[in-house]
Chain A
Amino acid sequence: MSIDIDTARRVAHLARIAVAEDDLPRLAGELSGIVSFMEQLNEVDVEGVEPMTSVTPMRLARREDVVTDGNIQKQILSNAPDAREGFFAVPKVVE
């Protein structure tokens, strides 16, 4: 299946990556090429095969439900592009 310009625009938005309108045809072409490469997978008989969830069979380890970390607000915020009064600052979200 080939990816048209509308699909490329929609995917870019879903991925939250700004793509200029002029660049969409090239992007659609590249994505189409990769998707048609993936379509080789349709040749494989996967009837009755379970999709792999974990490459090594293992039970997920459990731990005690206790607080193990905390009180490190300064470290958490130290790399923020904009931090104010102990919070991450972002543009207005709610109108």
Chain B
Amino acid sequence: MSGLNELTIAAARDALRKGEVTSADLTEACIAAIDGAGALNAFVHKTPEIARERARAADERLKADDKAPAMCGIPVGIKDLFCTRGVASQAGSRILQGFHPEYESTVSQKLADAGAVMLGKLNMDEFAMGSSNETSCYGNAVNPWRRGNDDTALTPGGSSGGSAAAVAADLCLGATGTDTGGSIRQPAAFAGITGIKPTYGRCSRWGIVAFASSLDQAGPMTRDVRDAAIMLGAMCGHDPKDSTSADLPVPDFEAALTGDIRGRKIGIPREYRMEGMPEEIEKLWAEGTAMMKDAGAEIVDISLPHTKYALPAYYVVAPAEASSNLARYDGVRYGHRAALAQGDGITEMYEKTRAEGFGHEVQRRVMIGTYVLSAGFYDAYYNRARKVRALIKRDFETVFAEGIDAILTPATPSSAFGLGEMANADPIAMYLNDVFTVTVNLAGLPGIAVPAGLDRQGLPLGLQLIGRPWEEGDLLNHAYVLERAAGFVSKPAKWW
């Protein structure tokens, strides 16, 4: 058996049940891997004591209960955006320095209840605002993948960059991520792993630091589709503490992985063929389409006419909601408060605290959001964007009503780029990373990124499948077929 930290969740679950390994063994292997991977800067708060305690409890539970949940004893990483009781939860921001929540997010609580072992907190872009993990107060997370023999440090993507790096480098068996515009799927694609954003409302948002509440969803980031199905099942479910949480039963997602998609209709949206799209992405997309066809699916050309307007609509709606959500960081109840000068009043306290506590990108988005919500501009920007959002959702409803079962697109417009390469670029150039993923958030749909090949530099490329609302099981099954056909087994060569 290879290193225990390299197992899939499914393999570890089966080995735990056969008594071939213990959760304590799995956990120690992961702790050692994390300690040896400082260069990746993926784990930013380590919790080995909590991990060892939970592993011990999981081993007892597995011994006593042969129906223990699938995640029992599985070591995972938690994105820093999730509040975890007594453990630093900073959302990658200076403004939450020293914050130790008195409560646990519903998703991390559900994982703990299922017996999962928390190894620590994972790096991310500040308040999940970024596509390269470069806005983090902890510094950049680094992608374990490199371009051939070139030792340029590459981004693991963002905002869930630490989660992607940790899973790809075998520091944990799975990790939580969150996705507001592509923050699970883009880093998954950059790191050669699987990431699913479920339907809006599947996972409770309670206890997850809010960025844009109408778009935010949590989801798992794992080595393969089966693991995504297993871990998603443990994360979702109705929660009365989140008023947008769906009161729907959670199906057995793993049981949906039949590998049979004969007769299913896969839509190929023509608007996703972007001008200047790298040839390799286009080729990968065509290959993915052929794989679905070979598996017996019917390929249908479809149109999602408002696709072009998704990014501008997103960059009105998301900053507007962020400006409102982030108003709570005022230096009064938690986190950082600036040192005040003689005579400073409460307004100076707010202004200095927020100037010191928020990084540049967060400040920019809060101010854009403030602008589009301000008197005189609310209708021109915010309301117009919400109308365009309704049209984007309608585009999807139309094709689903015509019988489309899933939609296949590229996951990202490029493979992982170098850290710092975009430093002097226009902010819009960075926003373009989300061009294929952001529509899914605006429409509230489930979407999954699956690694499907390597580019000529030896870096992973992903494809995205988009499913019908609440049909994550069906979506995962399509992804499972794609995964098996693509046969992606590459791993980054260990240099760290």
Contacts and interface: CB of A to CB of B under 8 A. Distances in A.
A63 B243 CA distance: 10
B333 A34 contact: no
A41 B330 CA distance: 33
Interface stretch (B26-34, B55-63, B293-301, B336-344): B336-344
Nearest to B338: A18
A16 to B, nearest CB: 4
Contacts of A76: 102, 333
B387 A31 contact: no
Contacts of B388: 41, 44, 46
B312 A56 contact: no
A35 to B, nearest CB: 7
B243 A18 contact: no
B105 interface: no
B393 A79 contact: no
Given A11-B371, A14-B370, A46 B240 contact: no
Interface of A is mostly: loop
A46 B384 contact: yes
A33 B314 CA distance: 15
Contacts, number: 170
Contact of A79 (B99, B351, B355, B364): B99
Contacts of B367: 8, 11-12, 15, 17, 27, 31
A88 to B, nearest CB: 5
Nearest to B306: A44
Contact of B371 (A31, A58, A80): A31
A85 to B, nearest CB: 15
A70 interface: no
Contact of B428 (A33, A41, A72, A79): A33
A34 B315 contact: yes
Contacts of A3: 371
Interface residues of A, number: 52
A91 interface: yes
Contacts of B371: 3, 7, 11, 31, 35
Contacts of A11: 367, 370-371, 374
B312 A55 contact: no
B244 A38 contact: no
Given A11-B371, A55-B444, A50 B387 contact: yes
Interface of B is mostly: helix
Given A56-B444, A79-B335, A93 B345 contact: yes
Contacts of A50: 387, 390
A33 B344 CA distance: 34
A66 interface: no
Interface in B329-366: 330-337, 340, 344-352, 354-355, 358, 363-364, 366
Which residue of A37, A38, A44, A79 has the most chain B CB atoms within 10 A of its CB atom? A38
B427 A16 contact: no
B201 interface: yes
Contacts of B428: 33-34, 37
Contacts of B354: 15-18
A90 interface: yes
Contacts of A71: none
A52 B355 contact: no
Which residue of B200, B311, B369, B371 has the most chain A CB atoms within 10 A of its CB atom? B371
A84 B384 CA distance: 46
A16 B363 CA distance: 10
B387 A51 contact: yes
A44 B280 CA distance: 32
A38 B312 contact: yes
B143 interface: no
Contacts of A14: 370, 374
Which residue of A37, A42, A50 has the most chain B CB atoms within 10 A of its CB atom? A37
Contact of A16 (B240, B350, B381): B350
A82 interface: yes
A61 interface: yes
Interface string B207-232: 00000001100000000000000000
A41 B427 contact: no
Interface of B: 98-102, 199-201, 214-215, 240, 243-244, 246-247, 306, 308-309, 311-313, 315-316, 323, 327, 330-337, 340, 344-352, 354-355, 358, 363-364, 366-372, 374, 381, 383-391, 393, 426-428, 431, 442-444, 469
The 8 closest A-B pairs by CB, nearest first: A55-B444, A51-B386, A79-B334, A81-B337, A18-B351, A18-B355, A46-B387, A75-B102
9 contacts: A16-B327, A34-B368, A37-B315, A38-B381, A49-B387, A61-B240, A61-B247, A81-B336, A90-B332
Given A16-B350, A55-B442, 9 more contacts: A11-B370, A16-B351, A33-B428, A41-B309, A58-B244, A58-B246, A61-B247, A76-B102, A91-B344
